[in-house]
Structure 1
Amino acid sequence: MLFNSFAFALFLPVVFLLYWRVTKTLQQQNILLLIASYFFYGCWDWRFLFLLAFSTFLDFFTGLKIMNAPTRRNKQLWLWLSITINLGFLGFFKYYNFFVTSFAEAISNVGLHVNPWTLSVILPVGISFYTFHGLSYVFDIYRDRIKAERNFVEYALFVSFFPLLVAGPIERATHLLPQIKESRKFDYSKMVDGLRQILWGLFKKIIIADQSAQYVNLIFSDPSSFSGSTLVLGVIFFAFQIYGDFSGYSDIALGTARLFGIELLRNFAYPYFSRDIAEFWRRWHISLSSWFRDYLYIPLGGSKGGTWMKVRNTFIIFLVSGFWHGANWTFIVWGGLNAIYFMPLLLTNKNRDNLQIVAAGKTFPTLKELFSMLLTFGLTCFAWIFFRAKDMSHALAYIKHMFSRSLFSAPNFYSINDAKKTLLFILFFLIVEWMGREQPYAIARIGGVKRRYIRWLSYYAIIWVIINYSTKEQTFIYFQF
């Protein structure tokens, strides 16, 4: 079930009314949300409900075993059992064919020929996300940060809560479980705030992402047919497609959770206003970046060692992050490129220079800040080519044609006039995001406008644009990860 679907528009109000009007106790609320979450996931493919349930039971059981283990060795055995099975399922569904074909290609390079045995397997939607939910839970128990949960319903809801189930944010037990265990009362202001964030998320998805997608698909389908400047435009469209798509999903997820009295972790903080790559990664897919920091980077030694250790750990983090996104060499190169971008900041100890939002309390950035943002955006866009390309040859062909003599000509293709309208939407979107960059989401400030008619006029304007410029219902990009 997609957030931008008619089915979800029916599903959400029904669950909301049952939750606040029918259920009487916290336990009933949690059971209702758990049933709704499994129904939500089952609408995609009911057969994979078993995999979700098995993963949930595995980590619930191993969490208890780790907490009650008499020795450190026993704790480690149960921890590694959870890690092995979780990553085994993830590896099978997501990476099996990649490893098999890569091995066959490597063998063929030394003169041997093998016929790789690949499988036609469906990637279970959200498997990367709920696997990381469970792993963070058992890691935290092993490190004595939390106690194992003894209420299976509450733990199962932590793993499968429908707003975050299929594309995050990647929650922590330390943050979400206490909210699940505490009594929740209806709060009108939170409901309105949640609906407002959902509205902005739908605008990002339907108007920015989906409108941009049609030109991205056209231009990336055959880069040799377009001028270099048009290919640059295609990359810019993709930058806003993936940002509008994923941050839009996160906004809808956070807003939906707030309707039920639950606050999820923030996943985006205006990343395209970053002044360097380090800042970008503190603002892009925050829950994943912090997950890798806490459960991989710091255990490897973080930045405490010498220069070699810092460089090694940084490359590991970015390469693993790239591989997490998909079983393709393009994602690994994308991760490696970001690691290279990060190196000058790391080696000069400037990777934490920009911790606050740019031009805080000001209307405009300085020229230096503007240049830094444009440079960071340009580097990010170049890396996005590998993220979007179907394989390495496609990415290299795209770059080759982009840097041709036609780079300095005016972009031109048969639907260029329609694309100008989308560019105007993107410009409007950037202005709104800039004006609201110090808020949790861009239009949060509307809630503070005293004149009611101005608030409602703003909402109706956004709704009107969404209805009149919506295209065919499209899935979210991060469902494939």
Structure 2
Amino acid sequence: MVFSSLFFTFAFLPLTVILYYLAAKHLRNVVLLTASLLFYAWGEPVYVLLMCGSIMINYWLGTLLRSDAASSRKRTLFLIISLVFNLGCLAYYKYFGMIISTIASIGSWHLNVGTPALPLGISFYTFQALSYVMDVYRGKIKPQKSLISFALYITMFPQLVAGPIVTYADIESQLADRSINFEEFYAGMQRFLCGLAKKVLLANPIGLLWSEVKAMPGAEISVLMAWAGVIAFALQIYFDFSGYSDMASGLGKMFGFYFKENFRYPYSSQSVSEFWRRWHISLGSWFKEYVYIPLGGSRVGKWKMIRNLLIVWFLTGLWHGASWNFVLWGLYFGILIIVEKLFLQKSMIRWPKAVRNLYVLLFVAIGWVFFEFTNLTDVLNFLLSMFGVGGNTLVGDQAVVKLKAYALLYIVCIIAASPWPKKLAVLLKGTHCNIYNLAVNVYYCILMFFSTAYMVGSTYNPFIYFRF
């Protein structure tokens, strides 16, 4: 089940909200947990058992890790068991096929081994479970006594299958007690509608252009068409994922939960390092807290800092998918960040802001090619097309036709991906409050109308991060 569907928007969500608000306060976690399990079972009826097993084992290990209940050696053993179990499940279900194919290619063998299907959201809920156990081990949090509350933390449907990755410390108090009022519920609805519109009115239409470009034979792609395509994908993946994060935050707020922001206008960044502080913030924060800092961070000398960054970015790439193109994509950004830290950091300050932003956009666009094509030959061929190395024409009639057809959508997407709409809204809010509130209500009604119309009339509704 996806958020950007008629069934979720007009059946599952309203029914869940009604039952949630009718329930007594002490039963609301039960209602939300039940809804979350049904939400997951709708798409993964078998793998809901795997998730339930993960909940039980991590809850049990968290209880055993209490600092006053076990010796240091036992606590370390329990932590190792948690790491082996959680990472082992992730490795088997997500990376088993990649491991087998890599071994087969190295040894030139033909291994006919079946690979398991990838459970939805396993990367997200596994990282949440790991952070919980590690934080209990470090004494940062106390173990959750209520199995219902812990299960809700792992399975909460607003952020179950696509994040943001929420650490237990962020919502510990909210699991026990949360205040709910109409203003916050309404704000949550607005945030959800904003995310829904991003997904179905911007990501999906601009993604159609990318799907057409990607399907074209390499010899027919002009340089202009290649760049138009990769820019379309850059916009698609941003509105796709940030839209889902907005919907998750909005849904969370409707039920009294507050999640940290996952995106902050990354395409307005002035460096690649800043881009990754603004893109998928919850994942970057997770790797920083649980991998980079424990390895020593940037305080262990230049060479160890380089090692730590390469490890983090290798794992970041691997987290995104069981394919070597994702590893290369992660290392590509790791190397860019290392170059910035060692050589460009001081000189970049003197560059004009527009130049810095263009520099970021150029290298991010190249990075999206590594991200999108799993076959490395396709990666190379498309990069050659982008820079006209393969004898491709510069412009081409087809590119002109496509750009004319998508020009307005490009403009809307580029403006929507910038912080200017939010700045304008803040400016207008301070002028005529009543008129502004009326305009906002009309605006969200329009978003709802057109989003619904799109969901009714279109069958193109992919979600890129479902495969992670």
Normalising by the smaller structure, the TM-score range is over 0.9
Q: Secondary structure at the match of 1:208?
A: helix
Aligned equivalent of 2:186: 192
Aligned equivalent of 2:337: 342
Deviation at 1:250, TM superposition (A): 0.2
Superposed CA deviations along residues 125-167 of structure 1, whole A, max 9, x for unmatched, are 0000000010000000111101111110000001111101001
Label 1:334 to 1:446 Cα distance change in 2 as closer, same or farther (>3 A): farther
Q: Secondary structure at the match of 1:412?
A: helix
1:409 correspondence with 2:395: yes
Identity %, equivalent residues: 33
Superposed CA deviations along residues 394-414 of structure 1, whole A, max 9, x for unmatched, are 111111122225464257256
Aligned equivalent of 1:15: 16
Note if contact 2:265-2:417 (Cα within 8 Å) is conserved in structure 1.
no
Deviation at 1:229, TM superposition (A): 1.1
Deviation at 1:463, TM superposition (A): 3.2
Deviation at 1:462, TM superposition (A): 2.8
2: CA distance, partners of 1:304 / 1:447: 45
1:52 correspondence with 2:51: yes
Q: Pick one of 154, 159, 174 that aligns with 1:164.
A: 159
Q: Secondary structure at the match of 1:51?
A: helix
Structure 1 segments unaligned to the other structure (5+ residues): 109-113, 355-365
Count matched residues: 456
1:103 correspondence with 2:112: no
Note if contact 1:193-1:447 (Cα within 8 Å) is conserved in structure 2.
no
Label 1:308 to 1:59 Cα distance change in 2 as closer, same or farther (>3 A): same
Q: Secondary structure at the match of 2:44?
A: helix
2: CA distance, partners of 1:446 / 1:198: 22
Structure 1 residue identity aligned to 2:270 = R
Label 1:473 to 1:399 Cα distance change in 2 as closer, same or farther (>3 A): closer
Superposed CA deviations along residues 368-392 of structure 1, whole A, max 9, x for unmatched, are 1122112101110100001011311
1: CA distance, partners of 2:428 / 2:281: 25
5 Å-filtered alignment, 1:350-361, equals: 350=345
Superposed CA deviations along residues 399-432 of structure 1, whole A, max 9, x for unmatched, are 112222546425725655432342233144246x
1:435 correspondence with 2:436: no
Aligned equivalent of 1:174: 169
Label 1:313 to 1:407 Cα distance change in 2 as closer, same or farther (>3 A): farther
Label 1:445 to 1:399 Cα distance change in 2 as closer, same or farther (>3 A): same
Structure 2 segments unaligned to the other structure (5+ residues): none
5 Å-filtered alignment, 1:34-113, equals: 34-67=33-66, 69-108=69-108
2: CA distance, partners of 1:158 / 1:204: 27
2: CA distance, partners of 1:106 / 1:198: 47
5 Å-filtered alignment, 1:213-232, equals: 213-224=207-218, 225-232=220-227
Aligned equivalent of 1:208: 202
Superposed CA deviations along residues 84-136 of structure 1, whole A, max 9, x for unmatched, are 0111111111100101111121123xxxxx22243242100000000001000
Deviation at 1:468, TM superposition (A): 5.0
Structure 2 residue identity aligned to 1:3 = F
2: CA distance, partners of 1:217 / 1:322: 23
Label 1:314 to 1:411 Cα distance change in 2 as closer, same or farther (>3 A): farther
Note if contact 1:4-1:473 (Cα within 8 Å) is conserved in structure 2.
no
1: CA distance, partners of 2:201 / 2:129: 34
Structure 2 residue identity aligned to 1:190 = E
2: CA distance, partners of 1:345 / 1:43: 45
TM-score by length of 2: 0.92
Structure 2 residue identity aligned to 1:472 = T
Label 1:445 to 1:343 Cα distance change in 2 as closer, same or farther (>3 A): same
Label 1:376 to 1:408 Cα distance change in 2 as closer, same or farther (>3 A): same
Aligned-pair RMSD on alpha carbons? 2.2
Q: Pick one of 461, 467, 471 that aligns with 2:446.
A: 461
Superposed CA deviations along residues 245-268 of structure 1, whole A, max 9, x for unmatched, are 000000000001100111012111
1:319 correspondence with 2:308: no
Deviation at 1:469, TM superposition (A): 5.1
Note if contact 1:216-1:237 (Cα within 8 Å) is conserved in structure 2.
yes
2: CA distance, partners of 1:28 / 1:474: 35
1: CA distance, partners of 2:27 / 2:278: 36
Structure 1 residue identity aligned to 2:183 = S
Deviation at 1:348, TM superposition (A): 4.7
TM-score by length of 1: 0.90
1: CA distance, partners of 2:361 / 2:394: 19
